[in-house]
């Protein structure tokens, strides 16, 4: 991160704190211009979210740290206050545009308006999904936040950590009450999801408090704090154990009892249409995740078309490499490939370490090639780590968390290593490229480096943009960077990964708009991707609890590829892919239609025309 951006963020954070006792009139009451207004509402949002402030990594354990001991309440009252804030902020935005704005300011206005309109559209549904799943909710987010994000650099920070442990206990009760209330209004997850939740809740209680991750992670971090003596560290650890035993474990046990009751009351229907307003909820989810107006039927048909195209390319490689018989199903031929020597890392600690070392070597190779294809190569480091064992049962194959705004925390690629057979060697290059460079890591780090725009533009998260870019990155690793020139099996892994995303279009819409069962979705995915059944089961269960999210990848990728084709056709020999990537990445996340307008404007500028 540049020092200019870091100083700008620190200034915004300082204004936030000063605002509590009366900040400058122009910023808080009469901000000049859309950028200042958007910064104002962003700071106000951050002030409402202790977790977001900590994630920024700017104020914790400083004189301005007024939030490091708190967590956001999980109550309907807090939810309504947040909705009211967004509604008021959206009304205020109209005073700053879009009339009279141009360039980045006009883009900022439209991005901010879209984000707030989308939040308000989602807020129409008081019960628009499941509050706790195997992938989301307080028992997933808060343990990881407390262990991985909350900084412990002093005794004061450790004491604030203890306060947050106490708050976690209160939030567990709030979650219990809201889930019970949802049940009374007809919102129950499918039985197979409830079983996953019960498995995770039970795993968290498997060890005594002294060995729980909320305690052991504190002990590990305290060892690196010179100002905390061993006796002080031991006392802090004892306090953490007491809170976990007396407040957090009971909260988990209450949630287990509740979900055991839910299991007796629910059934196996998979789609979101099982709950009140389910069809409308899914329509809104598709619009939110894809940032388009595509219908479920249109997305389903697109998926079927892409699946057929990719199937032909995959079969061509399998036939050329002599893998399996052409008459055998895809899944059988992939299984024969996986059975080849060296394709599966041993499911041991040494094998897991070897897998991460292999991923690291792929990342280093990509980074060596990146300057030939990107003008801006982010300086932020990337770590490759294992998904925490207590989360691995319900987690996807891997995911990415971006770096802190102040550079204090690197980007991290978490890979699920419960069973190393889920990630054969020939699939790892595309996986690493998607989650790391030039995929999510480039996209997230680039957003942090954008200058002259409001903080919101650096933080904005649009699924179709972010996941579309990461899938586009997988494609250009072959077409532009030549990373599979001597690696046909790696290219097969790339095609399988793209097939995986194409099949998602079919399966997500099948589950939520066409009445597909869990079993039907799993069978379709295995047939067309050849991926392991256990991994596909986890993925399908992810789609069940996150309606629409999985459709954004392919919709976004195809949109970016189409923008590039149009730019290449218009510019001919003047087209420079490094410039195209700069336009897409260095403007940050945005809805696809706004990105299309941005690329078209850049093309016109390259042609010497006034946009």
pLDDT digits (tens, 9 = 90+) for 518-539: 999 999 999 999 888 888 998 9
H or E element, residue 385: strand 382-386
From the list 228, 234, 240, 60, the residue with the least C-alpha distance to 150 is: 60
> What is the C-alpha separation between 89 and 416, in angstroms, rounded?
39
Residue 403: which pLDDT band, with cuts at 50, 70 and 90?
Answer: confident
Residue 220: CB atoms within 10 Å: 12
515: phi > 0 → left, psi -120 to 50 → alpha, else beta; which? left
Helix (H, G, I), strand (E, B) or coil at 100: coil
pLDDT, position 394: 63
pLDDT beyond 50 at 68:
yes
**396 neighbors 501 (Cβ within 8 angstroms):** no
Average pLDDT for 247-273 = 98
Please name the residues in contact with 416: beta carbons below 8 A apart, sequence gap of 6 or more.
386, 387, 392, 395, 396, 397, 398, 422, 423
CA angle (350, 354, 357) in 5-degree steps: 140
Enter the DSSP assignment of 471.
Answer: H
Please name the residues in contact with 543: beta carbons below 8 A apart, sequence gap of 6 or more.
504, 507, 508, 511, 521, 549, 550
Please name the residues in contact with 287: beta carbons below 8 A apart, sequence gap of 6 or more.
118, 121, 293
CA angle (118, 52, 168) in 5-degree steps: 110
pLDDT, position 473: 97
From the list 239, 224, 209, 258, the residue with the least C-alpha distance to 151 is: 224
From the list 601, 588, 334, 593, the residue with the least C-alpha distance to 466 is: 588
pLDDT, position 477: 96
Residue 25: which pLDDT band, with cuts at 50, 70 and 90?
Answer: very low
Name the token pair of 61. 């354990």
pLDDT, position 31: 62
pLDDT, position 451: 81
Average pLDDT of the chain to the nearest whole number: 91
Tens of pLDDT along 433-484? 999 999 999 999 988 888 888 888 887 889 999 999 999 999 999 999 999 9
Distances (CA, A) of 145 to 73, 140, 409: 15, 9, 13
Residue 409: which pLDDT band, with cuts at 50, 70 and 90?
Answer: confident
> What is the C-alpha separation between 474 and 481, in angstroms, rounded?
10
Name the percent of the chain lying above pLDDT 70: 94
């Amino acid at each position: 991160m540049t020092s200019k951006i870091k100083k700008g963020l620190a200034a915004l954070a300082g204004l936030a704190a000063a605002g509590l006792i009366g900040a400058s009139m122009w910023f808080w009451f009469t901000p000049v211009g859309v950028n200042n207004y958007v910064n104002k509402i962003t700071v106000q949002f951050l002030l409402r979210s202790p977790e977001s402030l900590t994630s920024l990594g700017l104020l914790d354990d400083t004189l301005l740290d007024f939030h490091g001991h708190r967590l956001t309440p999980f109550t309907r009252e807090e939810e309504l206050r947040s909705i009211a804030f967004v509604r008021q902020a959206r009304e205020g935005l109209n005073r700053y545009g879009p009339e009279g704005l141009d360039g980045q300011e006009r883009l900022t206005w439209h991005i901010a308006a879209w984000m707030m309109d989308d939040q308000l559209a989602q807020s129409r549904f008081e019960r628009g999904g499941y509050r706790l799943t195997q992938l989301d909710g307080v028992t997933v987010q808060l343990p990881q936040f407390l262990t991985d994000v909350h900084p412990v650099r002093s005794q004061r920070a450790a004491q604030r950590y203890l306060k947050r442990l106490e708050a976690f206990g209160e939030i567990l009760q709030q979650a219990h009450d809201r889930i019970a209330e949802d049940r009374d209004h007809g919102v129950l997850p499918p039985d197979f999801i409830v079983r996953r939740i019960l498995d995770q809740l039970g795993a968290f209680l498997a060890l005594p408090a002294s060995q729980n991750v909320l305690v052991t992670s504190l002990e590990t971090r305290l060892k690196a704090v010179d100002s905390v003596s061993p006796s002080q560290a031991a006392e802090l650890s004892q306090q953490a154990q007491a809170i976990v035993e007396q407040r957090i474990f009971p909260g988990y046990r209450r949630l287990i009892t509740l979900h055991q009751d839910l299991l007796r009351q629910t059934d196996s229907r998979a789609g979101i249409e099982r709950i009140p307003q389910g069809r409308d909820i899914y329509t809104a989810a598709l619009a939110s995740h894809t940032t388009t107006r595509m219908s479920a039927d249109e997305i389903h048909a697109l998926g079927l078309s892409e699946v057929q195209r990719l199937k032909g390319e995959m079969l061509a490689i399998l036939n050329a490499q002599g893998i399996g018989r052409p008459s055998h199903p895809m899944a059988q031929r992939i299984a024969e490939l996986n059975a080849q020597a060296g394709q599966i890392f041993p499911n041991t600690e040494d094998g897991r370490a070897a897998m991460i070392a292999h991923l690291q070597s792929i990342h280093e190779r990509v980074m060596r090639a990146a300057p030939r294809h990107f003008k801006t190569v982010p300086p932020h480091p990337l770590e490759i780590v294992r998904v925490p064992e207590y989360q691995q049962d319900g987690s996807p194959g891997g995911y990415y968390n971006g770096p802190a705004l102040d550079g204090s925390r690197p980007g991290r690629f978490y890979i699920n290593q419960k069973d190393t057979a889920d990630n054969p060697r020939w699939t790892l290059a595309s996986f690493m490229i998607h989650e790391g460079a030039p995929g999510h890591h480039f996209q997230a780090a680039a957003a942090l480096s954008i200058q002259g725009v409001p903080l919101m533009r650096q933080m904005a998260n649009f699924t179709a943009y972010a996941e579309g870019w990461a899938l586009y990155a997988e494609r250009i690793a072959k077409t532009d960077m030549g990373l599979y020139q001597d690696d046909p099996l790696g290219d097969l892994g790339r095609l399988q990964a793209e097939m995986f995303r194409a099949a998602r279009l079919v399966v997500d819409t099948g589950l939520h708009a066409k009445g597909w069962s869990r079993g039907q979705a799993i069978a379709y995915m295995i047939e067309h991707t050849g991926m392991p059944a256990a991994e596909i089961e986890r993925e399908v269960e992810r789609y069940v609890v996150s309606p629409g999210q999985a459709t954004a990848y392919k919709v976004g990728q195809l949109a970016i590829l189409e923008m590039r084709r149009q730019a290449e056709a218009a510019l001919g020999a003047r087209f420079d892919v490094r410039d195209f990537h700069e336009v897409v990445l260095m403007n940050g996340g945005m809805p696809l239609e706004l990105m299309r307008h941005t690329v078209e404007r850049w093309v016109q500028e390259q042609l010497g025309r006034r946009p």
